[in-house]
């Protein structure tokens, strides 16, 4: 009887440990490391952001396209506390998606803070469950990092009001 219980217990532990990799968070070190250099855009052309951008809105749309098949895109954001890029969910609740038959993607995200938000977009050929050993930076893995800065709306109003005062002053000077 004890042998049966020990056998069942060992079988349960073995099966549970085998399933752990199925529920892993899919963190890939080369994508998460802040030391990873950006690559050329050879798998996906990212059309927005075009580079480092500044906006007054917390809502931001990321867009891109690809003429290749079976491309998976992963969205990450820099976490200052962990000093790494971590998966970041868009408004649809996904941090990883496959580009469809159209070849285009457009995802809306909520930028988490005022100031600089470092966003990383990683694209690779293959499924979302790729192993780290299968990804080679610059060959089947593209990594691009952008900074999107959210400015306070009061700054926008100050700039707007300052511009109006300058135009009023010019009108008074030149009588336009």
Category of 72 on φ-ψ map: left (φ > 0), alpha (ψ -120 to 50) or beta: beta
Total structural domains in the chain?
1
53-105 tens-digit pLDDT? 989 899 999 999 999 988 999 999 999 999 999 999 999 999 999 998 899 99
- For 64, residues 6+ apart whose C-beta sits below 8 A from its C-beta are 44, 45, 46, 47, 48, 73, 104, 105, 121
The model carries a pTM of: 0.72
Structural domain contains residue 4: no
For residue 30, the tally of other CB atoms under 10 A from its CB is: 14
Structural domain contains residue 130: yes
Catalogue the long-range contacts made by 129-135 (C-beta closer than 8 Å, 24 or more residues apart).
129/26, 130/28, 130/72, 132/28, 132/29, 132/30, 135/28, 135/30, 135/31
Structural domain contains residue 103: yes
Tokens of 133: 């050993």
122-167 tens-digit pLDDT? 999 887 666 666 788 999 999 999 999 998 776 666 666 666 566 6
Range of the domain at 40: 26-174
Specify the CATH number for the domain of residue 57: 2.60.40.10
Look-up: residue for tokens 């998976």?
Answer: 72
């Amino acid at each position: 009887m004890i042998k049966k219980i020990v056998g069942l217990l060992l079988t349960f532990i073995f099966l549970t440990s085998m399933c752990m990799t199925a529920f892993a968070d899919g963190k890939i070190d080369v994508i998460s490391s802040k030391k990873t250099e950006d690559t050329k855009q050879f798998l996906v052309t990212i059309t927005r952001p075009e580079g480092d951008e500044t906006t007054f809105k917390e809502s931001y749309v990321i867009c891109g396209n690809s003429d290749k098949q079976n491309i998976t895109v992963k969205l990450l954001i820099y976490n200052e506390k962990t000093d790494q890029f971590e998966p970041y969910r868009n408004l649809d609740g996904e941090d990883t998606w496959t580009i469809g038959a159209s070849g285009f993607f457009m995802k809306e995200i909520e930028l988490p803070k005022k100031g600089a938000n470092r966003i990383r977009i990683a694209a690779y050929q293959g499924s979302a469950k790729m192993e780290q050993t299968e990804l080679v930076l610059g060959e089947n893995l593209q990594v691009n990092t952008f900074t999107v800065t959210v400015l306070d709306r009061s700054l926008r109003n100050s700039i707007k009001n300052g511009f109006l005062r300058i135009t009023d002053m010019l009108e008074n000077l030149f009588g336009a």
